Structure 1
Amino acid sequence: MALTLPQNIALPGRLTARPSLLAAATVLLVCVPTGDKDVTAAVHVTAADLASLALVGTMALGLLRGRLPALNRTVCVLFGAVVCSAGVATVHSIDPMASVTGFVRLVQVFVLVPAAVLCSLRDRRDQQLVLGSLVLAALVQGVVGAKQFLTGTGASYTGQPIRAIGTFGALDIMAMSTVVCFGLLAALALALGERGPGGNRRLRIGCWAAAGFLVFPLAVSFSRGSWIACAAAAAVVLLRADARLALRGAVLAAALGLVLVGGLGLGGSGVTNRLSSIGAVSDTPDQSVTDRYDLWGTAGRIWQDHPVTGAGPKAFQQLRDSHAPLRLSSGSDAADSQIGFTREPLLSPHNMYFLVLSEQGLIGVLAYLALFLTLLVNCLLRVGDSATKGLSPVGGTARSPTVDGPRLAALGLLVWVLVDFLYADIGGTTTVLTSVILGLAARTALPGPNAGEAKQT
């Protein structure tokens, strides 16, 4: 028997008409400073988490009342597989009680919030709203990060307080570069989507300007992982939009880098040294790279002991010392003006795929890879479809875009996440943004038969 809710249970009218506002709020609230709180704690609830839970609740009520279209069957199967794999791993965990919090977090990040974002994106304008919030959040963090570098008030890097960290603090050192990357890729894709005779010239110029500015704070974040993921995602976006434009973009990026780093000297030595260290990771890697390799090996040894269902969510940190080599560091250094100097323990393998393998086994890896690859392949196939079908903007006139901006942005953001997962995993203030990206990608990859056609009552 179908479960329905009484029609006199009312939600705020604005949220009912445009629930993507909550998704956008989730993105923007990531910028709220958390002070010196430990973002790696087992239970750490941020303002963005609360907004995402409000979005989940709003979408759940909408589905129960029949005001939203049913989820695509494939989406349900993929999300259901992730829930089942996490549940099985929790039941067979070495410490089921400790794994419960990990199970809840996994379901929130990879199922509930992405599904809620997917349901909230009813039309093109909803997608633009969420993507616009990513750009705005990136600009806020970029301005703060650029100021930190220029005034020497950031986190410590090579003994100097010049590393751009935005409003997040040294305990969440990767957060600012993550937000900036998301905004840069969203702005780039939206700018490319506005090319053509029917494009919005002001929006195109604004997005190009935003993307160009965000290159600088990304550079002075000194985050090698973010650089690599952003370069890969930007290459996919440009190649999918226009191969010739991709070549011109590579030349322009190189020229811009020479001007900023070589000509103006902005972060020159730090950026150059950091770039050169990327090529040295297989020859003479620094301690952070060596530790990462050791953590990957540790995750592999844990998986060998628990091959099918894994050791259970949150089990890696319990089993790390018994499986890690003696040379593994006790933690990574962090320092800024607020927290002083501290060492953060290495509680994860810094690779999402190895984390899933060690904690959820082969069942978990298959479930996550099925989700990620399905989204990636379908995003690649659907980007550009709108151009051939003569898509029109909401409330606008017919246009002839070279590619659909929101779909292209979803593809680029998804590529960033999947590449970043090669040397990072979930954790920290910006984790909820990963959920938003997966929801955007799911809307592009698997829109369903009634996408954008919410039932009116």
Structure 2
Amino acid sequence: MRVRLRPSLLAAALVLLTCLPAGHEEPSSGVRPTAADVMSLVLAVAAVAVLLSRPAAERLPARVLVFAPVAAAAGVSLLACADVLAGVPGYARYVQVFVVIPLAVLVAVRDRTDMLIVGGALVAAAATQGLVGCVQAVTGTGASYAGEQVRAVGTFGAPDVMGMASVVSFGAIVLLGTGLTLRGRRRAAALTAAALLCVPLALSLSRGTWLALAAAGLVVLFLHSRVLAARVVLAGTAAAIVLALGVGTGADPLGRRLDSVASSVSQPDQSLRDRYSLWRTAVDIWLEHPVTGAGPRGFARLRDTYAPIELSSGSDTEDPVHGFERRPLLSPHNMYLLTLSEQGLLGLAALAGCLGSLAWWAVRERSLVAAGLLTWQLVDFCYGDIGGAPTLVMSVALGLALSLVTRRETSLFSGARVDAGVGGGRR
């Protein structure tokens, strides 16, 4: 009966609720709260209640202070922007994603059972999305790519083509990091499951996710065994050569996508050219607002003023559920540049300091899952930003990593012994 009362079940429910199909939505529609958003509010309220019921010495570890500058910088940016009221929704979303949910997950995840509940939810969501994505790719009911509806997008649909790949990546990292700490059949099962999740990842045709997962996998393997990591690098290099000579001929969607990765600098496709234009736009906005930025959602408001003429008017998406849509390009698809343009150097320093501190603690303490999740996020933010239901899964994953580097009781997925401070939290 006690398991049913665990707050970690709310975090698990939040992850699973993001898998619910969003249905048809107009590209120009405003903010539409989802069931996952409601659950995130319930989780936050439950976390506050849990904190108030505990002794002061056991409430929060000192390391959570790295989140204070993130909230403060976003608040300063909001107060300094030209239209404070218009920026409130963007500020609330940013704080929800990077502060409220991660801290709520930290409060909810207190021991190994909680870690298994939340980690299991990430794996379950990854398996569900991966299965749906594979069916879409095989039956031709996925998102459109080069005129063929073969891109695996899971239940998120064409409006969020990277959503499925992100969720599947989190599950693969949890399984990889956990599998390396286990022995026998459990280890084989976890590593096999992680390998199977690479199938829907390949079918997602998401270049940024491929690179992020490769980086995360290498970090996890390196922390576990440098020799094993070196062997994997050699095997991966050989596989890349085979793919370049075999699959990478442009004859099929996967081959064309692999070719586009190799030519991303010399011969970028239209998607990459638009992304580079959006990056330049973000930098130009920042140059006009160097310290505090243009304010929350300032990029979308000022994009047309600073965008180069070669930027496309929108991105074409299509799938059987949403049909054909032309969606406006309202973000630079780079979290660092988005933060720089909207919050200036102050916001970028706060975000980088927070994520960098968490990553340093994870690597120093050899927490495999935490290091993998944070590495994935740091790399993925070079190609994407926050938005859509998968963002809430990212917040839970960030909270899971935070718990792993701050509480010794959750060290089930850690690759080395760690020291703890007062109340089970690391200082």
Match of 1:120 among 108, 111, 123: 108
Q: Distance in 1 between matches of 2:67 and 2:273?
A: 35
Question: C-alpha displacement at 1:268, in angstroms?
Answer: 7.4
Flag the structure with higher helix content. Answer: 2
SS in 2 for 1:333: strand
Query: Which residue pairs with 2:281 in the alignment?
Result: 298
Q: Given the alignment of the two structures, is residue 432 of structure 1 paired with residue 392 of structure 2, yes or no?
A: yes
Q: CA separation in 2, counterparts of 1:280 and 1:359? A: 31
Work out whether 1:174 is the aligned partner of 2:162: yes
- Give the superposition deviation at 1:323: 0.4
Identity fraction in percent: 47
Aligned residues: 411
CA distance in 1, matches of 2:67, 2:36: 22
For the Cα contact (< 8 Å) 2:27–2:325, is it kept in 1?
no
- 1:445 matched to 2:417: no
The reply on whether 1:73 has 2:56 as its aligned counterpart is no
Q: Which residue in 1 is equivalent to 2:301?
A: 318
Cα displacement string for residues 330-389 of structure 1 (whole angstroms, at most 9, x for unaligned residues): 111100112221111000111101111110111111111110111011110111xxxxxx
User: What TM-score, normalized by structure 1, do the two folds share?
Assistant: 0.84
Q: Distance in 1 between matches of 2:361 and 2:230?
A: 25
Distance 1:161 1:286 in 2: 19
Q: For 2:333, what is the secondary structure of its paired residue?
A: coil
The answer for unaligned runs of 5 or more in structure 2 is 408-419
Change (3 A) 1:60 1:136: same
In the TM superposition, residue 251 of structure 1 has moved relative to its aligned partner by: 5.7
Kept in 2, the 8 Å contact 1:38–1:171? The answer is no
Moved more, 270-279 or 99-108: 270-279
Q: 1:85 aligns with which of 62, 68, 73?
A: 73
Q: Following TM superposition, by how much is the alpha carbon of 1:84 offset from its aligned partner in structure 2, in angstroms?
A: 1.0
Q: 2:369 aligns with which of 387, 409, 415?
A: 409
CA distance in 2 between partners of 1:138 and 1:74 (Å): 29
Give the match's secondary structure for 2:252.
helix
With over 3 angstroms needed to count, the CA separation of the structure-2 counterparts of 1:264 and 1:357, relative to structure 1, is closer
Note the C-alpha offset of 1:262.
9.8
Q: Is 1:344 aligned with 2:327?
A: yes
Note if contact 2:129-2:154 (Cα within 8 Å) is conserved in structure 1.
yes
Q: Is 1:276 equivalent to 2:248 in the alignment?
A: no
Q: Which amino acid aligns with 2:313?
A: S
Aligned residue identity for 1:243? R
User: How far did 1:125 drift?
Assistant: 2.5
- SS of 1:167's partner is helix
Question: Would the aligned equivalents of 2:247 and 2:255 in 1 still touch at CA under 8 Å?
Answer: no
In structure 1, distance between residues paired with 2:29 and 2:422: 40
| Superposed CA offset, 1:24-56 (max 9, x none) | 111111111111225885423222222222111
Deviation at 1:264, TM superposition (A): 11
Using the alignment, how far apart are the partners of 2:310 and 2:144 within structure 1? 24
| Change over 3 Å in CA distance of 1:38–1:128 after alignment to 2 | farther
Name the counterpart of 1:129.
117
Contact 1:232 1:415 in 2 (8 A): yes
Go from structure 1 to structure 2 and tell me whether the alpha carbon gap of 1:229 and 1:45 turns closer, same or farther (over 3 Å shift).
Answer: same
**Aligned position for 1:105:** 93
Greater mean deviation of Cα atoms: 220-229 or 43-52: 43-52
Counterpart in the other structure of 1:230: 213
- AA in 2 matched with 1:434: M
Distance in 1, Cα, partners of 2:329 & 2:73: 25
Which of 291, 294, 297 is the equivalent residue of 1:308?
Answer: 291
Unaligned runs of 5+ residues in structure 1 are 1-11, 384-406
User: TM-score if structure 2 supplies the norm length?
Assistant: 0.90
SS of aligned partner of 1:206: helix
Structure 1 residues 362 and 260, CA, compared in 2 at 3 Å: closer, same or farther?
Answer: closer
Cα distance in structure 2, aligned partners of 1:442 and 1:39: 34
Query: Post-superposition shift, 1:82?
Result: 1.1
Residues in 1 aligned to 2:101 and 2:286: alpha-carbon distance in whole angstroms: 28
Q: Is the 8 A contact 1:121 1:452 kept in 2?
A: no
Kept after mapping to 2: 8 A contact 1:191/1:205? yes
1:95-149 per-residue CA deviation (whole Å, 9 max, x = no partner) reads 1111000111111101111001111111123222211211111111111111111
Q: Distance in 1 between matches of 2:17 and 2:55?
A: 27
* Deviation of 1:246 (Å): 2.1
User: Aligned equivalents of 2:328 and 2:121: distance in 1?
Assistant: 33
| 8 Å contact from structure 1 (residues 355, 425) kept in 2 | yes
Displacement of 1:269? 2.4
- TM-superposed CA distance for 1:261, in Å, is 11
Q: Quick one: which amino acid aligns to residue 323 of structure 2?
A: G
On the 8 A contact 2:143/2:152 being kept in 1, the answer is yes
**Could you tell me which amino acid in structure 1 is paired with residue 187 of structure 2?**
R
Letter in 2 for 1:273: R
Q: Taking structure 1 as reference, are residues 37 and 119 closer, same or farther at Cα in structure 2, changes over 3 Å only?
A: same
* Distance in structure 2 (CA, Å) of the matches to 1:14 and 1:79: 29
The match for 1:360 is 343
